[in-house]
Structure 1
Amino acid sequence: MSAREKVLDAFEDLLVTEGARATTLDAVAARAEVSKGGLLYHFRSKDALVEGLLERLAALAAADTEAMAADPRGPSAYYVDTSVADGSPLDRAIVAAAGLAQEANARARGALHEIHRGWFRLILEEVGDRATARAIVLLGDGLYYNAVLAGAIASDDVAATGPQDRAELLEVVALLTERAAQG
């Protein structure tokens, strides 16, 4: 792993575990186990760290969007089936960017919006109906939200995010896409 990637990992980790306010340059350098000068060699400022993180997020999301488009089950099934908090690089980058967005970072908000728009477009192309596409996106988003907050939600019926739960939701997606196809 390059020093640059190590610094980005540290920045991302701090965002995920401590929040945006904890991401001082000193804290990032300490977490990455590099000198502050080493950090500044790769990222001249906190804004440069944000840009690096958002570039990483964009690359991960582009790969995910390609996988979504290529999935033989269709984009809708892919979206709902992968709407889990799994600690993957994409998941961590999304959570980190969401932390920045919550602190009113317009670039992070814009990046997340563009990624979501791309996923929505693929689903809309598949189903051909905006309301159905929106329902599918909200189904996936709700699944992800509940997966992220599972420890804080008391009802296992609502927060269930295991494979069987996703299989049930995929049946709903199939009904929605069939209904949209019938027009």
Structure 2
Amino acid sequence: MTKEAILDAAEAVLSEQGTQALTLNAVADRAGVSKGGLLYHFPTKDALVREMVARVIREFDDLIASYVASYGGDAPGAYTRAYVEATFEILTGEARAYRRWSAITAAAADPEQAEPLNEAMRRWHGRDPAEDPDPGLAAVVRLAAEGLWEVVSHDPALYDADQLEALRRRLLDLLES
């Protein structure tokens, strides 16, 4: 059993049963490993949650970076366009990974566990205004994407694929103005 599979099992427990159900026993059962096997990789529940949060941040950072490169790297507005594209990939991707995000956000409710996520939010949203032709509009677009992610994490069926694509296109079109 790999660490990734244990993390997947923990996310499934959170997504399906909520934060109260996240116990090392429940994760070990879901992952099909002994509690000792789980403890080998994650000696505490805090260590498990910390790594779940770190993985989500890494994955989103990697998505943003891949889109930044496709938008010309340091070109004006590239970061905000990449942020929108990465968000919509999370919302519409095969794994529907937004469930992971909402589950981990809930798990990281204590201030110590939430700090890495808070730092990532400061990095994602506290951009240098000179990076965008219209910094205010760029902030509004990033916040709209963030809000959509939050809404869809609570009700995945609220928007179908066509509606999400129309929203993605509209946010990107706003950046062209």
Shorter-chain TM-score range? 0.7 to 0.9
Displacement of 1:121: 4.1
Q: How many residues align?
A: 169
2:148 counterpart residue number: 143
Which amino acid in structure 2 is aligned with residue 139 of structure 1?
A
Which amino acid in structure 1 is aligned with residue 52 of structure 2?
L
Matches within 5 A, 1:93-172: 93-101=100-108, 104-122=109-127, 124-127=129-132, 130-150=135-155, 161-172=163-174
Other structure's SS at 1:82 match: helix
TM-score under structure 2 length normalisation: 0.77
CA change 1:7–1:150 in 2 (3 A) is closer
CA change 1:42–1:149 in 2 (3 A) is closer
How high is the sequence identity, in percent, across the aligned residues?
Answer: 32
Displacement of 1:165: 2.9
Displacement of 1:100: 1.3
CA change 1:107–1:63 in 2 (3 A) is farther
Which amino acid in structure 2 is aligned with residue 39 of structure 1?
L
Question: 1:151, 1:48 → 2: CA distance?
Answer: 29
Matches within 5 A, 1:42-121: 42-72=41-71, 74-84=78-88, 85=91, 86=93, 88=95, 91-101=98-108, 104-121=109-126
Displacement of 1:61: 3.0
CA RMSD of aligned residues (A): 3.0
Displacement of 1:78: 2.2
1:17 aligns to 2:21 (yes or no)? no
Structure 1 residues without counterparts, runs of 5 or longer: 176-183
Larger Rg over CA atoms: 1
Question: 1:110, 1:143 → 2: CA distance?
Answer: 22
Displacement of 1:49: 0.8
Question: 1:88, 1:146 → 2: CA distance?
Answer: 17
Displacement of 1:135: 0.9
Which amino acid in structure 2 is aligned with residue 106 of structure 1?
P
TM-score under structure 1 length normalisation: 0.75
